[in-house]
Amino acid sequence: MTLSRIKFIYNEPAMVIRAGKIPYLVIGDLHIGMERSLHERGVHVFNATECMAERIKKMMKEFSLKKIIMLGDIKESVLYPDVSAARAIKGFFDSLSEFEIQIVAGNHDAHLGDLIDLPITKELLIGGFALLHGEKNPSEKAMMSDYLITAHTHAMVRITDSNGATYDQKVWLMAKLNQAGAHRSYVNVNKNIKLIMMPAFNGLIMGSELSKFYKENANPSLRNKTFNYSGAEIYNLMGQRIDPKAVLK
């Protein structure tokens, strides 16, 4: 899949965007601290946060990057994290201190600013890109961008093969504007804007099946028909296109 000024990183839920002459790594849904909730259910996971930091550093080095944009849900706790999660969050950002990081807050990120000293905003408009977590509708200024990039939904699909076996894949979803739907919510929009929904960066999260989240907890820009869900393009992390008729129900 090829889009102007965007590179999807092979086999990673991450992209590089070029805003003007400046490239940025973009990731979302880190959910630092979710290991604790897994431990409470008897699943013991170690070093998950450190592994995420190492994956980020590897990509930053591979693509010679210096700047990162994180699209929210940095932490797992919706409210203030416990001591161990707070320590993990601080350690995570300390390990990435050589990079310039901008954070777009998600619905899990209350009190994040009490833990780290980094710029945190609700919506970031930069070089033709509008970046937001995705739990709320974008602003009218955002809808004038070339690309609207969101996280939040942890997009994945469930595939059934010819032998009847099922398996899950994280996916990217890209949708074009539905002009009739968009003008019910916005006066001014870029008719060529594209919505790109990111899969979750945290390796412990597979996500929400597309057909289910659309009905239950979808990105509001799809639910209110601002973008065309039924005509969306879907790709797995290897760049293989998935037939939407097989997964969008």
The CATH number for 6-247, chosen from 3.40.1170, 3.60.21, 3.30.700, 3.90.1520, is 3.60.21
pLDDT tens, per residue, the chain with 249 residues:
668 899 999 999 999 999 989 999 999 999 998 876 645 555 445 588 999 999 999 999 999 999 999 999 999 988 898 898 899 999 999 999 999 999 999 999 999 999 999 999 999 999 999 999 999 999 999 999 999 999 999 989 888 777 888 889 999 999 999 999 999 999 999 999 999 999 999 998 888 777 665 555 567 888 888 999 888 999 999 999 998 877 766
E strand or H helix at 245:
helix 244-247
Q: Residue 114: what pLDDT?
A: 95
Read off φ and ψ for residue 18, nearest 5 degrees: -115, 105
Q: How far apart are CA 38 and CA 48, in angstroms?
A: 12
Of 160, 246, 168, 165, give the one whose Cα is nearest residue 207: 168
For residue 134, the cross-strand partners are none
Q: Residue 163: what pLDDT?
A: 85
E strand or H helix at 57:
helix 48-62
What's the whole-model pTM score?
A: 0.93
Other beta carbons less than 10 A from residue 113's beta carbon? 13
Q: Residue 41: what pLDDT?
A: 54
Angstrom CA distances, 166 to 61, 234, 242, 245, stand at 36, 18, 15, 16
Contact 235, 242 (CB under 8 A): yes
Q: Residue 2: what pLDDT?
A: 66
